[in-house]
Amino acid sequence: MSVEEDARKVAIENAAKHGGGARWETVLNMLLRTHPELRSPDSDAVRIVRAAVDEVNALPPEKLQELAKSLPAPAPQREERTGLPPLPGAEKGKVVLRFAPFPSGALHIGNARGVYINDEYRRMYDGKFYVVFDDTIGSAEKKPLKEGYSLILNDLKAAGVEPDAIFYKSDRIERHYRFVPDLLRSGKAYVCTCPAEKLRLNRENGMACPEREKDPDWQVAQWEGMLSGQYRKGEAVVRLKTALDHPNPAFRDRVLLRISEDEHPRVGHKYRVWPLLEYSWAIDDVELGITHVIRGKDLVMEDQMEEALWAALGMKGPHFAHWGMLRVRESKISKSKSMQEVLSGQYDGWTDPRTWSFGSLERRGIRSEAIRSFVLSFGMSLADIEVPAESLYSENRKLLDPVTPRRAFVSDPELVEIKQFPSGLAQIFLPNHPNMPEMGNRKLKVSGGRFYLPGKDVRANMGREIRLKDFLNLRLLAKASDGIVEAIFTSVPNKPVPRIQWVPQEGAKAVSVLMPDGSRVMGYGEESVSDARIGSIFQFERFGFVRLEGNDERDLLQAVFSHP
């Protein structure tokens, strides 16, 4: 069966299951399970699926049901889960892993692989998971934030991951200093005072700096001068001696420690010489007893530097394992950019949906179990992967759909008044969940004969007969001078006409829904959402899952969109 035929089949199944109206995002996700080649960014998957969904959604209800019944029964699927590959040299109860965030802002979806893969290996081997804040002072553009520490710990809590211990590099600087004199005396490192431009040229040309071969006493004296303030920022660094003809110029005589006069959010100006990442990790990975370092393949050179330092220090370090880059297509994120937008007030804090932080996903009602399943489904693949957000949403939908009550919501509302509305019809009862009768029903008051309908549906069907979903049929006539759309009641039985979402004007609650792009959708929800507790998750029918945040000062109910 071709991709187009499969897409049409899935669209028919989806539309029939939900009473007409397949969603292209759901169909796409289901199609990707049997056609993984469509995950390629340049595939025609979205075009194919949208075309199939548009065709199926245009079918009359009788034809849709007829096609659904004619589809062959799906073959039973055996779900295969291979899990993560074994770690080299790992022993049950003896595995120690670390997650090393830089505290410059909240954790986001791009950090999820580091969090969940390390935590999953902890579970597999009954091991330990450490959070080690990599809070040495970096470049002028990359500085630790005081609030970064609590943001990250809160995000780990939101992720459902509790570390066995928490460490801070800024508490371990003296331990990093201890090894420097021995490296200098043994001739394995040196203090370099070359200007940055001269150093760059030397490294490119494989030439030694003048200080490289100076005697150990001179080296130690310069090191002490770095600590005491003899040198200013940029005037002296400590370098490890590596091959000057190394194929990668960046690996030649890499910096181990350098001077910074910036204030640190935890230790102030206590230290003026700070270790770089590879040097601090070479020491800490050994002293903290880390057995396996699991991280992105972009840090392979850092692995090589740690190994070179262990050789120079006479140490034995942990095993390394890597994964490729995992990107969610819609989350074009940068922690530094997010920080600027948060600090400027352009974003609504670190839980603004545009940050894609763990906190923002929790705010949207995306469960940590769904993020974990999403991340672990890609295993330890070294391939760089870019997937649509729908892949994550599908995992969350599996958790929410069976337990989430339905509610009516209308965006861009038009008020419609039905003439000849059935007298004595004061209320109707609708199921809280179409497939879960045990969840009961809710009551909607309809005696007024006035209803909010989506503006786009009203405009598209003016003069035509339509059906208020699960209720009655009417014909839209025209908009009166007072702005109310006039309609006339036609019948109650289900008819093959467009089915439109609706909310009774009586008891309607004004709702503002914050969308993933930071925009807001205004509309009305049915009366029952007024009494829902903060944090409740509903599926607004034909709109999507939302999480309620309570009323603002204008008595406007605030909600956050989760996903379709």
Please tell me the predicted confidence (pLDDT) of residue 448.
85
Nearest to 413 by CA among 511, 541, 301: 511
Please tell me the predicted confidence (pLDDT) of residue 344.
79
Please tell me the predicted confidence (pLDDT) of residue 140.
59
Backbone angles phi, psi at 176, to 5 degrees: -70, -35
Please tell me the predicted confidence (pLDDT) of residue 249.
85
Which own/partner pairs from 355-358 qualify as long-range (CB within 8 Å, at least 24 positions apart)?
355/106, 355/108, 356/108, 356/109, 356/110, 356/328, 356/331, 357/105, 357/106, 357/107, 357/108, 357/109, 357/151, 357/155, 358/106, 358/107, 358/108, 358/109, 358/111, 358/112, 358/155, 358/156, 358/158, 358/159
213-235 b/e (C-beta count within 10 Å ≥ 16 → b): eeeeeebbebbeebbeeebeeee
Give SS3 for 230: coil
Query: So what's the architecture of 509-563 in CATH?
Result: Beta Barrel (2.40)
Please tell me the predicted confidence (pLDDT) of residue 420.
94
Distances (CA, A) of 398 to 180, 307, 370, 393: 54, 44, 8, 9
Token pair for residue 8? Answer: 């049409």
The DSSP string of 166-184 is EEEGGG-HHHHHTTHHHHH
Token pair for residue 35? Answer: 């056609």
Q: Where are the domains of the chain?
A: 3-76, 413-500, 509-563
Backbone angles phi, psi at 422, to 5 degrees: -50, 120
Token pair for residue 160? Answer: 């459902």
106: DSSP letter: -
Please tell me the predicted confidence (pLDDT) of residue 79.
39
Alpha-carbon gap, residue 317 to 320, rounded angstroms: 9
8 Å CB contact between 440 and 432: yes
Distances (CA, A) of 16 to 64, 185, 277, 436: 7, 77, 56, 17
8 Å CB contact between 239 and 233: no
Please tell me the predicted confidence (pLDDT) of residue 335.
62
Backbone φ/ψ region at 206: left (φ over 0), alpha (ψ -120 to 50), beta: left
The hierarchical CATH code for the domain 413-500 is 2.40.240.10
Alpha-carbon gap, residue 514 to 526, rounded angstroms: 18
Please tell me the predicted confidence (pLDDT) of residue 332.
73
Please tell me the predicted confidence (pLDDT) of residue 37.
60
What's the average pLDDT block by block, 10 residues per block, for the chain (564 residues)?
A: 80 76 72 61 68 83 80 52 83 97 92 96 97 85 88 94 97 97 96 86 86 94 96 94 87 92 94 94 97 93 92 95 90 71 84 93 96 94 90 96 96 96 92 93 93 95 95 95 95 93 96 96 95 94 95 93 96
